[in-house]
Chains A and B, each alone.
Chain A
Amino acid sequence: MLHWAMKSLWAQKATLAAGSGGVAAAFALVLLLDAVFAGESKQIVAYIHNTHPDVWVMQRGVSNMHMATSFVWDWKAERIAALPEVERATPILYLNTVIQAGTRNWFAYVVGVRPGERRAGPWSIAVGKGTTGPEEIVLPEVLARVAGLSLGDTASIANKRFHIVGLSRQTFSMANSIAFVDFDDLADLLSARGTVSYILVDAKPGHDPQALAAKITRSVEQVSALPQQVFRDNDFNMAMKMGVEIILIMTVIGTALAVLIVAFTAYSMTDARRRELALIKALGVPNRAVYSAVVMQTLTLTGLSYVMVIAAGAILLPGLERLVPQLTLEVTPSALLRVAAIAVGGAALAALIPAYQVARVDPVSAFNR
Chain B
Amino acid sequence: MRLAVNELRSTPFRTLLTLAAIAAAIAVILVLRGFEQGLYAQSRSIVMSRGADLFVTQAGIHNLVAARSALPQFTRGLVEDIPGVATAHPLTGLPVIYDQDGLKTPSYLLIYDTKGGPNRITQGTAARSGNDIVLDLSLADKYGLRPGDTLTLAAFDFRITGITTGNAALFMPFLFTTYDGLIDFFLDSEIAPDLSTFPLLSYLLIELRPGADRTAVAREIEARIPEADVLTPSQLADNDAALGKELFGPVMGAMISIAYVIGGLVVALIMYADVRRRQRSFAVMKALGFSQGRITLEIGTQVLILVIIAFPMGMAIAQLMAMGIAWWAPIYRVLSLEPYGLVQTLVGLTLFAGFGALLPLRLVAKADPVTAFQDG
B269 A265 Cβ-Cβ under 8 A:
yes
Chain A residue at minimum C-beta to C-beta distance from B244: A107
| A105 in complex: contacting residue of B103, B242, B255, CB < 8 Å | B242
- Asked if A61 and B154 make an inter-chain contact with CB atoms under 8 angstroms apart, the answer reads yes
A272 touches B277 (CB 8 A): yes
A interface, size bucket: 35 or more
Known: A175-B247, A190-B197. Contact between A61 and B272, CB under 8 A? no
* B: contact size bracket: 35 or more
Interface flags, A216-258, vs B, CB<8A=1, else 0: 0000001000000000001001100110011001100100110
- Bound together, the chains give a CA A257 to CA B63 distance in angstroms of 38
In the bound complex, residues from chain B placing their C-beta under 8 Å from that of A62 are 97, 154
Mask for B77-108, Cβ within 8 A of A = 1, else 0?
00000000000000000111101000111100
With A98-B66, A241-B103 already in contact, the answer to whether A264 and B329 are too (CB < 8 A) is no
Would you call B154 and A104 a contact (CB within 8 A)? no
Is A95 interfacial (CB-CB < 8 Å)?
Answer: yes
Contacts of A190 in B (CB 8 A): 68, 70, 197
Measured CB to CB, the closest approach of chain A to B8, in angstroms, equals 15
Interface pair A257/B251, CB less than 8 Å apart: no
**In the complex, B192 has a CB within 8 A of chain A:** yes
Chain B residue contacts of A238, Cβ below 8 A? 97, 104-106
Closest to A263 in B: B17
Q: Is B360 an interface residue (CB 8 A)?
A: yes
Taking a contact as CB atoms under 8 Å apart, the answer to whether B171 and A242 are in contact is: yes
In the complex, chain A residues whose CB is within 8 Å of the CB of B270:
264, 268
Give A302 to B262 CA distance when docked, in angstroms: 15
Given A60-B190, A98-B66 in contact, is the A71-B254 Cβ separation under 8 Å? Answer: no
In the assembled complex, 18 residue pairs joining A and B whose CB atoms fall closer than 8 Å, in A order, are: A14-B272, A15-B273, A18-B356, A18-B359, A22-B266, A25-B258, A96-B66, A97-B67, A98-B243, A158-B60, A190-B68, A191-B196, A238-B104, A245-B328, A245-B331, A245-B332, A268-B270, A327-B251
Interface residues of A (CB under 8 A from B): 14-15, 18-19, 21-22, 25-26, 28-29, 32-33, 36, 59-64, 66-69, 71-73, 95-98, 100, 104-107, 156-160, 174-175, 190-192, 194-195, 222, 234, 237-238, 241-242, 245-246, 249-250, 253, 256-257, 260-261, 263-265, 267-269, 271-272, 320, 324, 326-327, 353, 369
Apart from A14-B359, A250-B255, A369-B376, what 7 extra A-B contacts exist at CB < 8 Å? Answer: A15-B272, A22-B265, A98-B62, A156-B60, A222-B193, A261-B265, A327-B254
